[in-house]
Structure 1
Amino acid sequence: MKRLARRFLSGLCAVAAAAVMHAAPALSEDAIKRGPVTNLPIPRYVSLKASKANVRRGPSLTHRIDWIFKRRNMPLVVTAEHGHWRRVQDIEGAGGWVHYSLLSGSRTVIVTADMLPLNMRAEADTAMVAQLELGVVAELQKCSPDWCRISAGGYKGWVQKDNIWGVAADEIRD
């Protein structure tokens, strides 16, 4: 009986080890999902190219317009693709389907903290270039693990990454 139990446990351990080994590659492949149309990562950040964009319930002109984005350069996150359409969300989580021609790969961010210091260098104790109000849209330039260099209103400088929306927490840009 003990021998049978050992064989069963030995077999069970082998099956579990094989399952873990086969699951590991699948997890790493699933970690970066790609859009079926563009083969670009999903989700990914983009910006609104147009000053007015209809946001539709589905990916075609026959679908109802739910609302209209009216802020040029607003950062959005692409969550799905279908033909010439991209499902996007804004900072508040509102979204829908937008035609790809209304979107740009140029990266922008929204300031999420009021009177955010724009520093000369990526350090908290450096000289402040300007202060940015809550909701300001800025051009994204570079990012280190904790800081991003942005440009807004003719000013350029560094802000802490957790005070802006439109860039992934682990994203690094040169």
Structure 2
Amino acid sequence: SGSGVDTTLAPGAAGLFTDIGGGFDPLDEVGLAGRIRINALVVPEQGGALWRLRDGLGAATPGPGGFAAHLTSLASSLSAPRTQVSGGLSIGARSLSGFASDIASLQSVARLGAESGTAFATARSDTLRSALLRDGVDTDQEMQNLLLIEQAYAANAKVVQTVDDMIKILLGL
């Protein structure tokens, strides 16, 4: 409402976009994206009327159907360049679409950075795993070797037992 676009609103009243139904508090901007709403005065399901977009949120009655001055003013306000006061975007005046494209660009850069970090971490993990398998103990191979040794030991124990039995028979004669 502070933009002066809707002259039908009382000073301090919430405009078309609200902070959960109320006016925007510049000291409470963190989390605004999750709280922003369309003013209930223009939402028919909430008791509002769409003609208020054309005639103003504070209009008491609908005006003529072809009156578009308020809508034109609203569109001009959204496309008018403004300078940001927070948010960490590059300095300069931009329209709403300019701000949106800057935010989308920052998100793309952050996503690419995260993907690059993930790819690096995966490559590093694969390299470390390969080095560990190459230089470390391969437990599968060691278990196979242990089973072979156990089988050989069991076979040798049977041979020794058979030889012992044969010696006992020979001494018993």
TM-score of the aligned structures, taking structure 1 as reference length: 0.24
Identify, as 1 or 2, the structure richer in helix: 2
Looking at both structures, which has the greater relative contact order when contacts are Cα pairs under 8 Å and sequence separation is at least 6?
Answer: 1
Larger gyration radius, structure 1 or structure 2: 2
